[in-house]
Amino acid sequence: MNKSEFAKELGARAGLTGVQAQKVTDEFLALLTEAIAKGERVAFLGFGSFSTSQRAARVGVNPRNPGQKVKIPARKAVRFTPGAPLKAAANSGKVAKKKAATTAKKATTTAKKAPTAVKKDIKKATTAVKKDVKKATTAVKKDVKKVAATAKKVVRKPAAKKK
């Protein structure tokens, strides 16, 4: 699929005219190119990320004359790292929409639960359990006292005389 075919398909799916779809595609690519030129990382959750990396200078071999060494200068290279749903789609031939949505939801939930929040939740739960145990212990002690008092009364009562 080339750029114009991509723009046509995008327009058909988004309900845009051909000119609008072409403009959106051009602006998207221009924005992506500008960000990469600045050295920024551009990430699309579930799709992948674009970034730059520095390649060191090295000595290579001229393919036309293998005995000749060629100095290759240091440069920046554009890298693309595919996301898990994109890898799965490439291997299965299907778009894994559900899996991408689930992965994104899990990542969001995990990010929201920071270690400090978890510690606070544990502390609250521990405090609540301690209060419940204290209430239960107090109630049991009162019940034991009542039973003991009743037992003393029963033991002290003289046996009824037979007639």
Report how far apart, in Å, the C-alpha atoms of 55 and of each of 41, 52, 59, 77, 154 are. Answer: 17, 10, 12, 7, 94
Between these two residues, 65 and 104, which has the higher pLDDT value?
65
Query: Mean pLDDT across the chain, nearest whole number?
Result: 81
Read off the pLDDT band of 138 (50, 70, 90).
confident
Would the pTM count as exceeding 0.75? no
110-114 CB contacts, 8 Å cutoff, 24+ apart = none
Which pLDDT belongs to residue 90?
A: 87
Q: Coil, strand, or helix at residue 72?
A: strand
Kindly report, residue by residue over 73-122, the tens digit of the pLDDT.
Answer: 999 999 999 999 988 888 886 655 555 566 666 655 665 555 666 667 77
Better-predicted residue by pLDDT, 130 or 62: 62
- The pLDDT, as a whole number, for residue 147 is 66
pLDDT score, position 125: 73
Instruction: Convert the pLDDT of each residue in 35-64 to its tens digit.
Output: 999 999 999 998 999 999 999 999 999 999
Residue 157 pLDDT greater than 60, yes or no: no
State mean pLDDT over 114-138: 71
| Per-residue exposure over 54-91, b if at least 16 CB sit within 10 Å of its own CB, e if not | eeeeeeeeeeeeeeeeeeeeeeeeeeeeebebbebbee
